[in-house]
């Protein structure tokens, strides 16, 4: 461990050590074996969407090299691997005809993981919606939620005898805001607050998928992976209007997703011009019962806190402004501030807010982008600091069951293309060659040292 890393306490013997990836970011093979196009295939091929015109057509070529990647995971000593299933590989048109070759691929991956003693932890939706469903309105259309439930049943039917831990959605907040609110991610729609139904329809899809998973897999453990952020005020911005703005941001980013899942109701959306609890007919009878069905775990993806001030231009349409922190935090290559204690604040805050309704928590993503090369001491410090923050939250009574770092491999980082490198393993995107970084060895040694 580098000198600057804090000493890590012992985690419980059954704590799960993992790593995460997502289908579009690593698989490549964009139109192989009958796969249909996803919104990310469409978006990345549109000029001006992704930095330098990068696409996920080939990415890490994991589709053809998954054996090599599972061997890397085995070397790491992972307990579990979080990957995502590409919906358009399974249902090329989003619904109807199933493509068995897509299911075969995930079956081969799951079997390779199980052979390596690694628990497969699939996410059913990590943003790559079948384009055919986007053509019908995507997540703005309530029907997409039903299609998601049907797709979950198809995957569970094939893999449910071998997979027990399932994650339905990845970061419904980010998909709504970046994909439909601001248009910087696929499907590239800039609807601002008119994107709100995307939140409800994803959550309804989660509810329907949860029911489908539980029907097909009697011992299923169902989680959702929410991107959560502790909301902070700048020291120089602590007036009443700033506090109101921070509350409004907390509602949009965190509570809009956590409240219905954990408390079975939406927070007050008056700050967003939506005083009607039924959102003008979007939220229908029975929806919240389905969404609020008890979860087996809450997945948390944490990267950094958010600093909020009152809007400088209230006419711009949002009740807050995102600000930069006043403190000189270390920064990742993405320029994201490195704030490990934000994770402790987030976890203890969830426990304070949801109490007995908070299920066991899993850190389903946490990691950082660092410069190219295999020498990455800043990543080691980042991981050590954040694991220390998890341990602090556990010492304060938060039940955290596992930690999945983002990411196993350098990969296609959405609007940033291949410019942001999050991997424990460096990938040469010209040749596909994988080179474990210093952080890989550090994580391997950490996991080994934590073994009972």
Contact positions toward ligand FCB, by CB under 6 A? 22, 25, 170-171, 174, 227, 301, 365, 406, 413-414, 422
Of 63 and 422, nearer to ligand FCB (C-beta) is 422
Half-sphere exposure of 317 (CA within 13 A, CB side): 7
Half-sphere exposure of 384 (CA within 13 A, CB side): 20
**Long-range contacts (CB closer than 8 Å, 24 or more residues apart) made by 282-285:** 282/142, 282/196, 282/197, 282/200, 283/200
In the complex, the smallest distance separating the C-beta of residue 63 from ligand FCB, rounded to whole angstroms, is 17
Q: Which of 171, 345, 413, 426 is catalytic?
A: 171
Cα 255 from chain centre = 16
Is position 107 annotated as part of the catalytic site? no
Strands 306-309, 321-323: parallel, antiparallel or unpaired by DSSP? antiparallel
289 burial level (CB within 10 Å; 0-12, 13-18, 19+): exposed
In the block, tokens 């055919």 appear at: 132
In the complex, the smallest distance separating the C-beta of residue 134 from ligand FCB, rounded to whole angstroms, is 19
In the complex, the smallest distance separating the C-beta of residue 108 from ligand FCB, rounded to whole angstroms, is 23
CA distances from 373 to 212, 238, 281, 422, 435 (A): 44, 42, 52, 11, 9
Is position 99 annotated as part of the catalytic site? no
DSSP-assigned letter for residue 274: B
Which residues are the active-site residues?
171, 365
């Amino acid at each position: 461990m580098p000198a600057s890393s804090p000493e890590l306490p012992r985690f419980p013997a059954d704590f799960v050590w993992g790593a995460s990836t997502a289908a579009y970011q690593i698989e490549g093979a964009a139109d192989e074996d009958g796969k249909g196009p996803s919104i990310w295939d469409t978006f990345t091929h549109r000029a001006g969407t992704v930095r330098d015109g990068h696409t996920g057509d080939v990415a890490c070529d994991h589709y053809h090299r998954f054996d090599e990647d599972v061997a890397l995971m085995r070397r790491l000593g992972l307990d579990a691997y979080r990957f995502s299933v590409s919906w358009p590989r399974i249902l090329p048109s989003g619904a109807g005809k199933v493509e068995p070759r897509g299911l075969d691929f995930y079956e081969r991956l799951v079997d390779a993981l199980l052979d390596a003693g690694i628990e497969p932890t699939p996410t059913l939706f990590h943003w790559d919606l079948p384009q055919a469903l986007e053509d019908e309105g995507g997540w703005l259309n309530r029907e997409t939620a039903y299609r998601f439930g049907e797709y979950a049943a198809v995957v569970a039917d094939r893999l449910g005898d071998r997979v027990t831990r399932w994650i339905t959605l990845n970061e419904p907040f980010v998909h709504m805001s970046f994909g439909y609110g601001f248009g910087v991610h696929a499907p590239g729609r800039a609807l601002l607050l008119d994107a709100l139904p995307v939140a409800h329809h994803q959550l309804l899809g989660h509810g329907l998928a949860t029911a489908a998973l539980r029907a097909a897999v009697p011992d299923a453990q169902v989680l959702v992976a929410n991107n959560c952020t502790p909301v902070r005020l700048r020291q120089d911005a602590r007036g009443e209007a700033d506090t109101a703005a921070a509350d409004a941001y907390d509602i949009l980013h965190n509570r809009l997703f956590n409240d219905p899942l954990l408390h079975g109701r939406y927070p007050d959306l008056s700050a967003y011009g939506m005083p009607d609890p039924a959102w003008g007919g979007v939220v229908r009878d029975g929806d919240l019962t389905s969404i609020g069905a008890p979860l087996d775990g809450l997945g948390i993806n944490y990267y950094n806190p958010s600093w909020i001030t009152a809007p400088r231009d209230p006419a711009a349409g949002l009740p807050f402004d995102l600000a930069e922190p006043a403190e000189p935090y270390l920064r990742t290559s993405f320029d994201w501030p490195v704030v490990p204690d934000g994770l402790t604040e987030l976890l203890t805050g969830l426990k304070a807010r949801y109490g007995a309704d908070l299920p066991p928590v899993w850190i389903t993503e946490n990691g950082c982008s660092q410069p190219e090369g295999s020498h990455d001491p800043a990543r080691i410090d980042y991981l050590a600091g954040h694991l220390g923050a998890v341990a602090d939250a556990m010492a304060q009574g938060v039940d955290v069951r596992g930690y999945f770092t983002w990411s196993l491999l350098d990969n296609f980082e959405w609007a940033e293309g291949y410019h942001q490198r999050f991997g424990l393993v460096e990938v040469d995107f010209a040749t596909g060659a994988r080179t474990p970084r210093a952080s890989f060895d550090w994580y391997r040694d950490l996991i080994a040292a934590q073994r009972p």
